[in-house]
Structure 1
Amino acid sequence: MAPHRIMFIRHAEKPDASSGTGIDADGKPDEESLAVRGWQRAGALVRFFCPAEDSHATQRRPGTVFAPGTGPASESRRAMQTVTPLVAKVRETSKVEFITTYLKDDGEALMKDVLTRAGVVLISWEHKVLPTLIGHMPGAPAVPSKWPDKRFDMVWVLDRDDDTWSFSQLPQLLLAGDSDEPIR
């Protein structure tokens, strides 16, 4: 068994000079959490992956969501925070597994687990690691070698046809300034 679709997103916007400090879910300053714009994206991703229009719902609504847990190598909670509102929304009407047991550098083990899942899988991860994650897949399609530092607005999609994976990019277009230009 393997999923028929795997989607990859970078965690939402993080603290920096232009976006200000990070804040946790309770509004307290926390540099390991999302910036305000990141929280806005996390909320907007709910309708992106669970659209009100049913024609896209089965293509985007995940049955399994992965985000790295925190540990010695990374205390960042941004990837988990990015998908927590989505997981809560999906759980209102159906079952979704939210798996945070892998750390950001556990790519090989993560992808082995991903390939045992069925249906649609969503992975929210650190951008520097995303191309490497895909490289752990047998028969992995070619993807851009680097996810740009300033891009938070794209979804990488792998669709399976028998034992072959195809790659495409889906622009989120959720917030002002989002781009429809693919990552190259």
Structure 2
Amino acid sequence: MSSLTIMLARHAEKAGGAFPGEGLTFEGTPDEKSLVIRGWQRAGAWAALFGQGDARGDYPPPNVIYAAKPKAVSEDASFSHRPWETAIPVAKRLHLEPNTSYGVSQEPDLVKEIVKLTGVVLVFWEHKAIVEEIVPALLKKQVLPGVPKKWDGDRFDVVLRFDRAFPDAPWSFRQLSPRLLDGDTDLPFKKRQF
């Protein structure tokens, strides 16, 4: 089978947003580059959703998971632990190891790798880079209605799903909102620009 599904999700909640608390590592050590408690809750909710085993549903279990490298890939590149921390519960539930070969600023290389795959790919990344770097590199010149060019800064509850039947086929797109936690919504992004 040569079909490919790519699901792009933002890392879970961070400090400074609508939810209180400081960033904490998995062990509970304060870390400004880590998830807040609400983020760890979301990471667990993603694990339950993607680990349910329904390959025919909107959220099929991935056979590979990518997360932005939790360290800088160059002196001027930003980084955080949040994409990797968000990926860990999903990966553990599915007995996978998250691929962290690429970091912020290496999105074109990430896309070159994942478009060669088949099956289901789940990517956890920084929200601006998803819509400004990953999606354009994925679609190239293909225009799809509804694909956001901006990610609402307060939204951590969205999956951008791209499907194609075979390697040179056009992509289809859906914005998914599973409403996993209290306060999540299924409304589309407010700042959508097509």
Q: Does 1:79 align with 2:83?
A: yes
CA contact (8 A) 1:139 1:165 kept: no
User: 1:28-84, CA deviations, whole angstroms, 9 ceiling, x for partnerless residues?
Assistant: 1110000000000001111111126x4646951001111111114234100000010
Q: Which moved more, 1:108-117 or 1:67-76?
A: 67-76
CA contact (8 A) 2:2 2:165 kept: no
Give TM-score scaled by structure 1 length: 0.89
1:90 to 70, 89, 94: 94
CA contact (8 A) 2:84 2:98 kept: no
Q: What is the CA–CA distance in structure 2 between the aligned matches of 1:8 and 1:58, rounded to whole Å? A: 13
1:175 to 1:30, Cα distance in 2 relative to 1, 3 A = same
Q: CA RMSD in A?
A: 2.0
- In the TM superposition, residue 5 of structure 1 has moved relative to its aligned partner by 0.4
Q: What is the CA–CA distance in structure 2 between the aligned matches of 1:153 and 1:38, rounded to whole Å? A: 11
Q: Does 1:166 align with 2:167?
A: no
Q: What is the CA–CA distance in structure 2 between the aligned matches of 1:48 and 1:99, rounded to whole Å? A: 20
Q: What is the CA–CA distance in structure 1 between the aligned matches of 2:28 and 2:184, rounded to whole Å? A: 25
Q: Which moved more, 1:162-171 or 1:7-16?
A: 162-171
* Total equivalences in the alignment: 179
Match for 1:146: what amino acid?
K
CA contact (8 A) 1:11 1:152 kept: yes
- In the TM superposition, residue 172 of structure 1 has moved relative to its aligned partner by 2.2
Q: What is the CA–CA distance in structure 2 between the aligned matches of 1:35 and 1:170, rounded to whole Å? A: 23
Aligned position for 1:179: 185
